[in-house]
Every structure is written in structure tokens, then in C-alpha cells.
Amino acid sequence: MSQTAPAAEPLDAVDVIRTKRDRRDLSDAQIDWVVDAYTRGAVADEQMSALAMAILLNGMTHRETARWTAAMIASGERLDFSGLRGPDGRPRATADKHSTGGVGDKITLPLAPLVAVFGVAVPQLSGRGLGHTGGTLDKLESIPGWRAGLTNEQMMGQLRDVGAVICAAGSGLAPADKKLYALRDVTGTVEAIPLIASSIMSKKIAEGTGSLVLDVKVGSGAFMKDEATARTLAETMVALGTDAGVTTVALLTNMATPLGLTAGNAIEVEESVEVLAGGGPEDVVELTVRLAEEMLACAGVHGADPAQALRDGRAMDVWRRMIEAQGGDPHAALPVAKEWETVYAPADGVLVELDALKVGTAAWRLGAGRARKEDPVQAGAGVRLHAKPGALVRAGEPIMTLLTDTPERFDRAKEALEGAVVVAPAGSRPAQQLVIDRIA
């Protein structure tokens, strides 16, 4: 019996690899083909690995990065919120926020309902944690009954009725990115700025939001450790969004120290609810309000007072409706870790450093995060901080509490914390600049 031979491909993967290996620009046709062919399985993992490494080493022009992003978008569906209206029948503008990931970064939780207070719809498609950075969906899944998976129709309905949704991205959005991200993760090419930028922006543009605010983290707990690299990434993403017709701005924010006083899942939800109740740590409130102001301005809403909407309970009202719409009980007790252990201040003085990466790694090892995407997480695990840089401490005072259901994890978590806490003789207190710069 004869078999039909597979159709010949119009281009060759080796030629594409050689082009970038030799520091030449990829043509539009090469980019379109290689992204599509890899998604279809016509380009092998080892070939795309070689190309990703060549991109990491030799970079991409803005034209190449923009075309690569467009090819990633074209691999799947695009959502359209242009016809979205509120319960009153009036059109709703849309605004979204993306963080490049950090420790204790629970900002999305209070931010989405806060922005929705002012009539702007927030379609927040979020992900799960991997390694030391926490995942928004993991945090919310600690709320009894809450579900991350929604159909496009359910998401549109919730945006219309509530104004905010935080959910998992559907498999139809930029499937090329899902496949390529997994490959980059195991081939040492995650740090390639053109690939980071196209990964983030392909999903956000395909999502269909009208405006986007990027929170680009800088410091030990961020993927971008230095300001120059973070600035390059922010500028690249802002240009990609602007070219695609999405009003885009970026804030460079400090991730040398964890945000707030918690790093975990349920304990970050607890802290987010404190912010929505008008309290909470100053840095979490400051960044939530600043990002809300940026999102509202991008959506054309001026003169709003997000800080007041936190104080007077309006944001809390939207939060409760948002959680209930996804099956959750906003009044239910959150999971609590079965075991705890305290870390104490090593000396008298001023706490001058609390390393975000080491705290995040400790939370991960306690069970709050995962090493592989399929790993489970503990809802109650994490690190609760009792002091932040600038605080006066005494030797033997609690600095943090480690939380887990499995006490055998404590030793490795404490290993991760070696050198995380630096106390200096009392004197000047270090200033922590939370928002470093704005890029538009």
C-alpha cells in the first residue's frame, strides 16, 4: 500500500538557525514559518533549542521581535472586548496589568477589583508559580471553592456583570508560546529579552485588552537582577504593545525585598484582603494604588481616587462578587499550615537587608511553590515576615515565621535563608524606593 509523503516545507530549519547563528537578521518569512512549523511539530525541539540559543547570544532587532510576537499571536485565537458593555449598557474600556514576577507579589488580587470600581473592566489572565516566584492562581485556589478555569463566554459575562476576572488563560491563546516557554525553561534560554518580551506580549495582545500596565521587577527576587536589563525589557515590551495598538506603559519596581509581610498562598490572600479592608502593609498599598492610577489613566479615566476606594469598602465589594462569581466563598476560613518555626534576629541594630530571592526560595521549599509545573502546592505554606528593612530589631526577636504542613522541609528552607537577614549597627535607616521609574 502506498503512503502519501508529507508535504514539503517551504523553508528549512537549519537555514533559519544559521542565519541567526551568523548574526544576520531573520526575514519575516523565516520568522512566520519557524514559529508556525514548531507549533505544528515540523521543526524539532532540538532545532528550536538551537535557534533560541542563537537569539539569546545574538539578539533581535525591534522588527524581528515584533514579527516574532505577531507570529506567536497568529498561532492561536484572539479575544475581542470591543463590544463589552456594563450592566447599564454603557461600553466598558479594558485594562490589564502584568508583573514579571517576584516574592510576595500579591498585587493582582486587590488591584483587579479596585480598578473595576471605576467602571474599567479588568480581564486578568494569570498563571501559576514556578520556582521562587509565586503564582496568582495558586494563591486564589486557597480560597474554598474558587476555580481558575473559565470559558471565554463565562469570562465575558463576569466582566460585564462584575467588572473584573482573574482566571487561567485558555489553551487557544498563543499556543506557540506555551510550547516554546517549556523548551526555554529546560535549555537555559529563559533570559533572552526578545523571547521574554514576545512571550509576555503575545499573550497580552491576543487577550484583547485595550490598555496594559507592566510591572517590571528589578532586584534579587526578580528575573531581571539589574536595572539596565529590566529597563531594556520594559522598553521592548512597551514598544511591542504600542505597535499593536495597545496603550502600554511600564513601571520599574523594586524586588530586592519581598512585597508586604507574606510570601505564600493563603497568607498572601489574607494580606490582600487586609489591603481591600483599608489596611495592609504600606508597600503593598502604595504599589496597588500606583498601578491602579496608571491603569485608569490608560483607560481614559482621570480624577479617580483609588486610595479612597480601598478605604471606603468599594473595592472589597467588587472582590467579594468576583470571588463568588468563580465559585469561591470570600467569607470562608483560609487554610492554615500545620507546623511553624521561627527565625530570629541575629543582633541588635537596624535591619538593612532582607533578600527577596532567599525568602522566596525558602517559601518554595516549604511547599508554597513548585519545581515543575505539575507539582502540587501547599495552600498554607510560606513565610510570614515580622520586620522589613529600616526596622530597629533586637537580638532574639522574631524576624520571620516559616509555615508548612511537612516539618521535614524546615531544614532546607533555613539553608535557603542563610545570609538573607543583614542587621547593621543602629544609625541611618535605608530608604527603599519602591517605584524606580516609569516608561511609556
Q: Which residues contact 45 (CB under 8 A, 6 or more apart)?
A: 183
Give yes or no: 438 in active site.
Answer: no
CA distance 36 to 32: 6
Q: Strand 247-254 relative to strand 95-99: parallel, antiparallel, unpaired?
A: unpaired
Give yes or no: 320 in active site.
Answer: no
In SS3 terms, 199-220 reads as HHHHHHHHHCCCEEEEEEEECC
Q: Of these residues, 203, 231, 314, 320, which one is catalytic?
A: 203
Q: Which residues contact 317 (CB under 8 A, 6 or more apart)?
A: none
Q: Of these residues, 96, 105, 138, 177, which one is catalytic?
A: 177
Q: Of these residues, 199, 211, 220, 272, which one is catalytic?
A: 199
Helix axis angle for 314-325 and 108-116, nearest 10°, is 110
CA distance 320 to 355: 33
> For residue 434, what is its C-alpha cell?
519602591
Q: Of these residues, 67, 92, 184, 358, which one is catalytic?
A: 184
Q: Of these residues, 20, 67, 98, 106, which one is catalytic?
A: 98
Give yes or no: 302 in active site.
Answer: no
CA distance 436 to 433: 6
Contact present, 89 and 171 (Cβ < 8 Å):
no
Give yes or no: 177 in active site.
Answer: yes
Length of the chain: 440
Give yes or no: 409 in active site.
Answer: no
Catalogue the active-site residues: 98, 177, 184, 199, 203
